[in-house]
Amino acid sequence: MLHTAGLYERRFHRAEKDAEAIALMRRAGAIPFALTNVSEVCMWWESNNTVHGRSRNPYDTNRIVGGSSGGEGCIQAAAASPLGLGSDIGGSIRMPCFFNGIFGHKPSKFVVSNDGQFPIPFTEEQNSFLGIGPMARYAEDLKLVLKILTAEKADLLKLDEPVDLQKLKFFYKESDGGGRLVSSVDEDVTKGIHQVVGYLKNKLKVHVEEVQLPQFRQSATIWFANMKRRFWLQIRTSTGKFEECHQSIF
């Protein structure tokens, strides 16, 4: 299949072999039939590039699908696929799922192999932030796909053990506190949060607490700082890896 990452210079590039996550899905009986659209280099919250153009939201074509795995969110919302995979280093699974009204999960770090992912993570921080995970029209399908992706690590997650919600503590925030580069939370979303909080408190009788995290408003800045942490040092010490990525892009 084409493996462009939304880059014009890779418009004819085809993957020589399956990524580890794709290979696991094939062995489980899945039939991959498309690579869906992403933002350029999978690093933006709108799925638009010079190779395939802009993905539009199936509920309203004047609106976007999110990114970077926005094409996958779109194709599932349009009922063209029952499930799929996305990659997430800063919201690239979670945002398209939110934009398109489907379900997704970014796994804990290193439980799913990133082998075969492009762009290639340069640093330990980038690799630990990056995760390949399931996207699906129905929440109940997420566990099925996650068990396939985690392979021999599935038992470590104890996915089949029942969870007693009354033994858990729940914490929430209504917003990020007014961070830069972040839109204010929509009123309907805030109402939805209150409905969930009310259900947990009144129906399940569990502990629910609103938390105050002043530094949360700086989350975008903190994320960018972690992305470039040790980046140039890694380039100087891993010339081969840098050249591989550079040649793929340019």
Domains of the chain, CATH where assigned: 8-161+222-249 (3.90.1300.10), 162-212 (no CATH)
* 194, containing H or E segment: helix 187-202
Q: How far apart are CA 31 and CA 49, in angstroms?
A: 26
Other Cβ atoms less than 10 A from the Cβ of 145: the count is 22
- In this prediction, residue 245 has a pLDDT band, given cuts at 50, 70 and 90, of low
> How confident is the model over 27-53, as a mean pLDDT?
95
> What pLDDT, on a 0 to 100 scale, did the predictor assign at position 110?
94
Instruction: Kindly tell me if the per-residue pLDDT of 234 is higher than 70.
Output: no
Q: Is the dihedral of CA 29, 27, 163, 94 positive or negative?
A: negative
Task: Give the least confident one: 22-26, 173-177, 203-207, 227-231.
Answer: 227-231
Average pLDDT, the chain: 91
Residue 183 has pLDDT above 90, yes or no: no
Q: Is 223 helix (H, G, I), strand (E, B) or coil?
A: helix
In angstroms, the first-to-last Cα distance of the chain is 20
pLDDT, position 182: 81
Question: Is the pLDDT score of 250 beyond 90?
Answer: no
pTM: 0.89
pLDDT of 220 > 90? The answer is no
pLDDT cut 90: percent of the chain above it? 78
Contact by Cβ (8 Å): 96, 90: no
Backbone angles phi, psi at 85, to 5 degrees: -120, 150
